[in-house]
Amino acid sequence: MLEGPSRYEINRKVRQIFVSHNADMTKVSYSCAHRTIYIYGTLVKDPKGEFNISTIQTLVSELMRLPRINSVQFDLENWIISAEPGDLNIIKGGKFSQAAQKHFK
C-alpha cells in the first residue's frame, strides 16, 4: 500500500491552494494522477480580476510542494505555464502558439 495522502486528499489540497489565491473555481479545473497535477480552463480571480506572474509563481510552488507530486501540467486558455522541477516559465496569453512552443523547447 502507498504511504502518504490519497488522491482525494491531494485534490482537496489543490482546491485549498486555488481558493487561498482567490481563483474562480468555476473557470479552472484540475485532477491528480500518477504524481502529476493537471490544470485546465481559465485562471482568473474571483469575483473578477487577473492573476499576475508573481502570484502564479507562488501558486505553482505551493502545488509542487504537495506530497507525492512530481510535476504540474497546465492547459490554460489565458496563461502559458511550463512547470518542471527547477524550471518555471510563465507567459500571459492563450494556448500554445507555434512561437511559444519553440520558446519552451
Q: CATH number of the domain that 67 lies in?
A: 3.30.70
- Number of separate domains in the chain: 1
Q: How many residues does the chain have?
A: 105
| Matching residue, cell 474571483 | 46
CA atoms within 13 A on the CB side of 15: 10
pLDDT for residue 30: 97
47 versus 89: the higher-pLDDT residue is 89
DSSP code per residue over 11-49: HHHHHHHHHHTTB-TTTEEEEEETTEEEEEE---BSSS-
Instruction: Identify any residues that bridge with 12 across adjacent strands, giving them in sequence order.
Output: none
Give pLDDT tens digits for 38-66.
999 999 998 888 999 999 999 999 999 99
Quickly state the pLDDT bin for 97 (edges 50, 70, 90).
very low
Structural domain harbouring 16: 7-103
Quickly state the pLDDT bin for 85 (edges 50, 70, 90).
confident
Does some domain include residue 2?
Answer: no
